[in-house]
């Protein structure tokens, strides 16, 4: 358990409305990530953060913004939701387990978003 | 940049039979390799990882994978599967320097037939 909580877990929203997904972690990890999962595409990185107020784009960042005002919270915002953003969204953190030489990515339970 | 190919989108296997899920990667630099498992309606759980050293890596639930640098492969195996192994399996790769991000394959859905 990497101490990651995503909210909401399920949401249905209408096209054109703004949506914010929240990722909360309890273990002071510096790096946090947002991925989306779609059939036939696996997981694709949307945005990531390497510290408070430090964020960068991933491979599918168009239509999304992020914010990180506190270490423990990483917010993903869809400014104006579209049907193509119907997906499962996963938050992740990066951790260096004791005795390991490299980081490992751990995932939250996911947020199912449907845009109608 | 790295890429991952999981050629089999679905693999049906009879219970107690062996299984191999294939993963090939492409990279111009040294890599770390990972297998994640996703049970229905859940998040991804780390199954095993190759960082360095022995090319045969053992993970949870009786799974193992072998890193083959010459064939750029990291196939996942289990000698005898159970119904509880029904899930989607994702192979992922990252570079070994700095803030290297994970690149995922498209996943393989393993279905166990009773």
Tens-place pLDDT, residues B44-81: 999 999 988 899 999 999 999 999 999 999 999 999 99
Task: Report the residue of B38, B43, B104 to disrupt the A interface, i.e. the one with the largest count of A CBs within 10 Å.
Answer: B43
Task: Tell me if B102 sits within 8 A of B94, measured CB to CB.
Answer: yes
Walk me through the domains of chain A, giving residue ranges and CATH numbers. 4-115 (2.60.40.10)
**Tokens standing for residue A44:** 């694709």
| Interface residue B7 vs chain A (CB under 8 A) | no
Question: Tokens 């890193």 appear where?
Answer: B67
Q: According to the model, what pLDDT value does residue B98 have?
A: 62
DSSP string, B3-29: EEE---SEEEEETTS-EEE--EEE-SS
In chain B, residues with a C-beta closer than 8 Å to the C-beta of A90 are: 43-44
For domain B3-113, give the CATH number: 2.60.40.10
For chain A, the distance separating the N- and C-terminal CA atoms, rounded to the nearest angstrom, is: 33
**Residues of chain A contacting B46 with CB distance shorter than 8 Å:** 104-106
Tokens found for residue A102: 């490299």
Give residue-wise pLDDT tens across range B19-41.
999 999 998 888 899 999 999 88
Q: Considering CB atoms only, which of B46, B52, B96 is closest to A104?
A: B46
Q: Is B54 on the interface with A (CB under 8 A)?
A: no
Are A105 and B102 a contacting pair at CB < 8 A?
Answer: yes
Mean pLDDT of A17-38: 94
Q: Residues of A with CB below 8 A from B106's CB?
A: 40-42
Q: Does residue B70 belong to the interface with chain A, where contact is any CB pair within 8 Å?
A: no
Examine residue B107 and say whether the peptide bond preceding it is cis (omega within 30 degrees of 0): no
The verdict on a CB contact (< 8 Å) between A45 and B42 is no
A105: which DSSP letter?
Answer: E
What letter does residue B1 receive in the DSSP assignment? Answer: -
Give B-chain residues touching A104 at CB under 8 angstroms: 34, 46, 49
Q: Would you say residue B99 has pLDDT above 70? A: no
DSSP code, position A59: T
For A10, B9, B87, the CA distances from A40, given in Å and listed in that order, are 21, 8, 15
Query: Do B44 and A102 make contact, defined as CB atoms within 8 angstroms?
Result: no
Query: A80: pLDDT confidence band, cut at 50, 70 and 90?
Result: very high
Q: What CA–CA distance (Å, rounded) separates A85 from B96?
A: 31
- Residue where the block lists tokens 């990882």: B49
């Amino acid at each position: 358990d990497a101490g990651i909580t995503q909210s909401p877990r399920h949401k249905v929203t209408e096209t054109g409305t703004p949506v914010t997904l929240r990722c909360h972690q309890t273990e002071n990890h510096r790096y946090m990530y947002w991925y989306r999962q779609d059939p036939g595409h696996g997981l694709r990185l949307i945005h990531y953060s390497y510290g408070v107020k430090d964020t960068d784009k991933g491979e599918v960042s168009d239509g999304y913004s992020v914010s990180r005002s506190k270490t423990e919270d990483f917010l993903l915002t869809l400014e104006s939701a579209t049907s193509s953003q119907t997906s499962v969204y996963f938050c992740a953190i990066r951790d260096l387990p004791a005795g390991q030489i490299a980081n490992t990515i751990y995932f939250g339970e996911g947020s199912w978003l449907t845009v109608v | 940049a790295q890429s991952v190919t999981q050629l089999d989108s679905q693999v049906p296997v009879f219970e107690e039979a062996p299984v191999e899920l294939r993963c090939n990667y492409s990279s111009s630099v040294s890599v770390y390799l990972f297998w994640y498992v996703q049970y229905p309606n859940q998040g991804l759980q780390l199954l095993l990882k190759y960082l360095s050293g022995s090319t045969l890596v053992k993970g949870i639930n009786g799974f193992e994978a072998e890193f083959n640098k010459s064939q750029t492969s990291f196939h996942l195996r289990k000698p005898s599967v159970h119904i509880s192994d029904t899930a989607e399996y994702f192979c992922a790769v990252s570079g070994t320097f700095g803030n290297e991000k994970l690149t995922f394959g498209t996943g393989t859905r393993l279905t166990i037939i009773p």
